Structure 1
Amino acid sequence: MLIALNKPYGVLCQFTDREGRPTLADYVAQKGVYAAGRLDRDSEGLLLLTDEGPLAHRLTDPRHKQPKTYLVQVEGTPSAQALQQLQRGVRLKDGMTRPAQVELRATAPGWLWPRDPPVRFRKHIPTAWLELTIREGRNRQVRRMTAAVGLPTLRLVRTRVGAVELGDLAPGDWTELQGDAAAALRTDGVPRK
């Protein structure tokens, strides 16, 4: 079984929490599935869950280079140099990242839901939106990459993993994946025509 969940902000990527914080169990009633990868508590968007061990390994092992796309709101105005650094790879404490695909967006897309609580607005500090695709999954990697080029992340929404897109799933909603996108994740990541 393979499930796509739109993980809300503030939810932990686990099914239990001793401190009583929101977890996946508050949204997914399906038994026996586990997150294939993680999203930080402060991050939102597409999270895949499965009961298939080999599939979970394929989705999380960096050797498979599964592309993951994020919509990132950053503090500041990205310079051409900062965008080039992200595209080439950024030196972090745990080494160089792989090159990323980066696109500067004029505004947030119209389909994006408001975050609860909202990102703090500061009148004299501009923000910008990036669409960023990486092919590895280090701990808090996107946040560390944008910070390394002088653009702290304010909001992070994962929109795609391999061939699976978030689509119109509302925060907290989930669906079982079948068909071409699910098959592609089980093989080489390319949907069959």
Structure 2
Amino acid sequence: MKYGQRSVSDLYVFNKNGKLITVLDSLKESYIDPNNTPILYAKDALLDDSLLEFFNRQVNDNKTDYEKFVSGGFEEEKTFKTLVYRQTTKECKLIAKTEVRDSESGQDRYVYYEIPEASVSNYNSFNSSSTQTSEWDLVFNIKPYNEDKDLFKIHIEQDESDRLQKFFTDAVDAIKKINIM
């Protein structure tokens, strides 16, 4: 079968122990490049708070009365979450979920790219623009997950017609082999 890429992936990011960190469902672009240094590249339209927390250390906001007044006075005190930015690399696991269209049947199928071993660095710049939403680029390094140096698995949704087609193709091939011998 032949498939056409239907949509940008939703990217599920898990920590190295398999706990879900976040779902990046606002990607503008994504791709997997398995050549040379294998990567998954994602361009997100939105800065994800959970991913920032994954990278950085959160500190408690223990301000003195003086600091509270300087930051806006007592009347309209605002609450902030404070993250201490640090350049770091985190081990993670990824699942990229997307849709493809079967060129023969015209049906949409879900596809999952399972990446059991990856890492991501937060060496990002924070850009501002008055004309459009700033984008956030993420580059996940894909690592081999076994001794065979496999990088990722692709899971393609199947239905009954796929199984029947395979059965008939295998049967015809078996008959051809018998007739040749």
TM-score over 0.5 for the alignment?
Answer: no
Q: Which category of TM-score, normalised to the shorter sequence, fits these structures? A: under 0.3
Greater share of strand? 2
Q: Mark the structure with the bigger radius of gyration.
A: 2
TM-score (norm 1): 0.23
TM-score (norm 2): 0.24
Higher relative contact order (CA 8 A, sep 6+): 1
